[in-house]
Amino acid sequence: MTSQEMASRVAELGPWFYPFDLGHGVRTESAIPASVTGIFETRLAMVNRAVESRFGARLAQASCLDIGCHEGFYTVAMARRGMRRVMGMDVREVNLRKARFVAEALGLSNVSFFEGNCERLDAEQVGRFDLTLFLGVLYHLENPMLCLRNLSAVTGELAIVETQVIEEVHGSTEWGARDWTREYQGVLAVIDESPEFHADNRETGGTPVALCPSPKALEFMLRQAGFRKVEFLPPPPGAYEQHLRGKRVVCAAYK
């Protein structure tokens, strides 16, 4: 495509959530506030660090599935790193049209996209991937435990999960009788995303109901989903403020 053709497509497909540099002076501008866009680079820096640590010289032979890829910002980043095969999946076709355009404009032949819902992700259909990304998705979901089990089923080596988290709650509850109790393994907050969902906000989940975990709950759920080891990754210097305050976390979950 010529720069004029790319610029025309950028305008046609807008507004954009992610900022992409397509070369030849053509860029997409993020429609979200500038005070929030730092989250993109923090996520990417933390993903890149974990990927390099795990795969290193094997990166060119590795495959990646980006679940809830949106416009393909991180999918494209993994493809540009030279991974053998990269796939992005999103619940909204309108997001995937943008992702496919970006991949085409950048001339990436190792990346593809498909529409799908992580609640119905079938490992027998999509296969297993060395690396899976689950970034900014979990806290928008009605069935997070089901989705983490599906995530585990398609992960060969490493899953990277980034999510908003709530404050930890410690304690126990009666469980069948006054003297029978169970300790909390973290907690989930029920969040109503109805205003955004019914306004066709493309960053919500597939329903208005969202369950957001505490850090302890997230680790427990990942282990129950089948990951043998879970690490909370430290944010880099200058990270997005929510990562620095622990309101968002990035987990490396290993099979």
CB of 160 closer than 8 Å to CB of 42:
no
Angle (deg, nearest 10), helices 144-154 and 215-225 = 50
CA distance 244 to 3: 38
d(CA 208, CA 191): 8
Query: Tens of pLDDT along 45-89?
Result: 999 999 999 999 999 999 999 999 999 999 999 999 999 999 999
pLDDT in tens, the chain (255 residues): 789 999 999 999 999 999 999 999 999 999 999 999 999 999 999 999 999 999 999 999 999 999 999 999 999 999 999 999 999 999 999 999 999 999 999 999 999 999 999 999 999 999 999 999 999 999 999 999 999 999 999 999 999 999 999 999 999 999 999 999 999 999 999 999 999 889 887 788 889 999 999 999 999 999 999 999 999 999 999 999 999 999 999 999 999
Fold of the domain spanning 3-254: Rossmann fold (3.40.50)
Biggest CA–CA distance in the chain, Å, is 73
Report which of 128, 118, 119, 132 is spatially closest to residue 161, judged by C-alpha positions.
Answer: 132
Rounded to whole angstroms, how far apart are CA atoms 88 and 112?
Answer: 6
